Chains A and B, each alone.
Chain A
Amino acid sequence: MINGSIINIEGLNLHIGNKHILKDINVKIPEKKLTVILGPSGCGKTTLLKSLNRLTDLYPEVKTQGKIFNGGIDILNPKIEITELRKKMGLLAQSPYPLPMSIYDNITYGLRISGRRKKRYLSKRVEYYLRQVSLWEEVKDRLKDPASALSIGQQQRLCLARGLSVDPDIILADEPTSALDPVSSREIEELFLKLKQRYTIVMVTHILRQARRVADYVIFMYLGEIVEHGTAEQIFENPQNQITKAYIKGTYS
């Protein structure tokens, strides 16, 4: 059922100061599927997600060892040009952080940075990506307004559109619905179900029901380790590990 993998993590260890945060992570992330990273709070889900496009560089106290392959290139190799590689992975944070500019400029930012300047092209792209996240009808008359004027749910969809604008292969999403109301959460979920036809999605969540609704593949983490990973069916119907079992049944505390 799971065919090719797009990201291979091999022997990833991550320390912050002298705390061992990620412990010997080995896992393959399947292509064009929605992979959910599950696990209790503080187990390292966000850290793992940020390692995938080396945003951990922003934290000088973080030390990583191991390899993360994407298309044959080791992302963690300090010699590679990470800027271009990051574009292959769109990021969606826990709560929306629109860039301090207009709705329109939020979408065109990534394009302008990679040298696209033609106005007609940019306008078309803006419409296209806003339609992708079902935001176009709501904002088409106020594209020049500051993005911060949107509602939180709209902002999160804008951030998703912004991530899509640089045409990534992978979407990394860290609890993308945790700051949203139920309706907006549902909208994001449905978008993900639609987008996973064309993108590989890695999503962190600790909402079990959400994971059941969207996941194809599940990685279960506990205290910095991957305890178990497999297809959604395997993990939800027939977990092997005791901790996973407890967590899935909801008896974990």
Chain B
Amino acid sequence: MRSFSILNFKVRRTLRENLSAFWMKCCYLLILAMPFILLIGLLLKSSLLFGEHSLMELIFSSEWKPLSGKFGFFPFIISSLWVTFISIAIAAPVCLLTAIYLTQYAKRFVLKIMQPVIDILAGIPSVIYGVWGIIIIVPFVSKVAGWFNVSSSGYSILTGAIVLAVMIIPFVLNILIEVYKTIPIELSEASLSLGATKWETIKKVLTRKAYPGIISSFGLGVSRAFGETIAVLMVVGNVVQIPSGIFQAGYPLPALIANNYGEMLSIPLYDSALMFAALILFVVVTFFNMGSRYIIMHYEKKI
């Protein structure tokens, strides 16, 4: 009886062991398969569009007339690129300088205070950033446009970019702080003892050492900015046009999808077109992720 119960115990234990191993494997396979499932879904759904139009035409035509079956994505792609690159151009230097200040100059407690603040910023829902953009940034940009003798409602590429910059700053900054914090202090000591000033040390040694991390943080920032939807949609104006300046309204890809999905789906090929927009988003974001990964690996071999 006793030996039986021990046997039973052992069996149950191995069974449980195998079962949990099985579930762990399932979960990990699911995650591994996720991007491919997404990609295949998007490809299937947008394939209808390819039957009627060439890829070149879809990407480079700026005629967007769904009712007459014309789907040119160029205005949306250009809007997305504008918004993304202006936002990263704003966020990158701000984050870099802040990270350097916090890790190299500030007293320890300043960093200790900043870290939760950054986390709070990162956790704020994007719709709140959108509202804040409408209340503060829209009138501000409208006024700034006035200084340049441009009339603008304030709902513009620049407004979207500013709101986006504020949204990606906490993410990029968090990585950069981590990157600079993990550089061994001995490297600074070596540089200083060779007669370098603190700033020379930061510029020529620490930032070189941090380079792969800096690139990956910016890459992450770009991916986030490119895909961010709600906050941008609320302030960017959503006019289908190729914006000729930063004070003009634009219509980035995520906004296109979010504004229109579920409506007007009676128009033939319309949902397929929106899926194609999603596909572009997916490909670009993946490209940026892989690209920054490649730079990191390539560079790490060189230092």
Interface residues of A (CB under 8 A from B): 50, 53, 55, 58, 60-61, 83-84, 86-87, 89-91, 93, 97, 99-101, 109-110, 113-114, 146, 148, 159, 162-163, 165-166, 172
Q: Give the Cβ gap from A52 to chain B, nearest Cβ, in Å.
A: 10
A84: B residues at CB distance < 8 A: 195
Across the interface, which residues of A come within 8 angstroms of B188, CB to CB?
Answer: 58
A87 cross-chain contacts in B, Cβ below 8 A: 193-195
Q: How far is the CB of B165 from chain A (nearest CB, A)?
A: 29
Residues of A near B303 (CB, < 8 A) are 100-101, 146, 148
Partner-A contacts on B (CB < 8 A) = 107-108, 184-197, 200, 204-205, 208-209, 301-303
Chain B residues near A89: list those with CB within 8 A.
193
What are 22 A-B interface contacts by the 8 Å CB criterion?
A50-B189, A53-B193, A55-B189, A58-B185, A83-B196, A87-B194, A89-B193, A91-B193, A97-B190, A100-B303, A101-B208, A109-B204, A113-B195, A113-B204, A114-B195, A146-B301, A146-B302, A148-B303, A162-B190, A165-B194, A166-B195, A172-B193
Cβ distance B190 to chain A, nearest Cβ, rounded Å: 5
**Chain A residue nearest to B191 in the complex (CB):** A99
Contact check, A113 vs B193: say whether CB atoms are below 8 A apart. Answer: no
A172 to B190, CA, bound (A): 11
Are B193 and A90 in touch, CB under 8 angstroms? yes
A93 — which chain B residues lie within 8 A by C-beta?
A: 186, 189-190
Point out the residues of chain B lying under 8 angstroms from A162, CB to CB: 190, 194
A109→B180 CA distance, assembly (Å): 21
Complex alpha-carbon distance, A166 and B193, angstroms = 9
Among B108, B186, B192, contact of A86 (Cβ-Cβ < 8 Å): B192
Instruction: Name the residue in A50, A93, A162, A165 with the highest tally of chain B Cβ atoms < 10 Å from its Cβ.
Output: A93
User: How far in angstroms is the closest Cβ of chain B from A109?
Assistant: 6
The distance from the CB of A136 to the nearest CB of chain B, in whole angstroms, is 20
The reply to whether B193 and A99 form a contact with Cβ atoms under 8 Å apart is no
Q: Which of B187, B190, B194, B302 has the most CB of A within 10 A?
A: B194
10 closest residue pairs by CB, A with B: A110-B194, A87-B195, A91-B193, A100-B303, A97-B186, A100-B209, A100-B208, A93-B186, A113-B196, A55-B189
* Chain A, Cβ-Cβ closest to B105: A60
Q: Chain A contacts of B185 at CB under 8 A? A: 58
Q: Which residue of B lies closest to A112 (CB)?
A: B204
- B302 cross-chain contacts in A, Cβ below 8 A: 146
Minimum distance in angstroms from A181 CB to a CB of chain B? 20
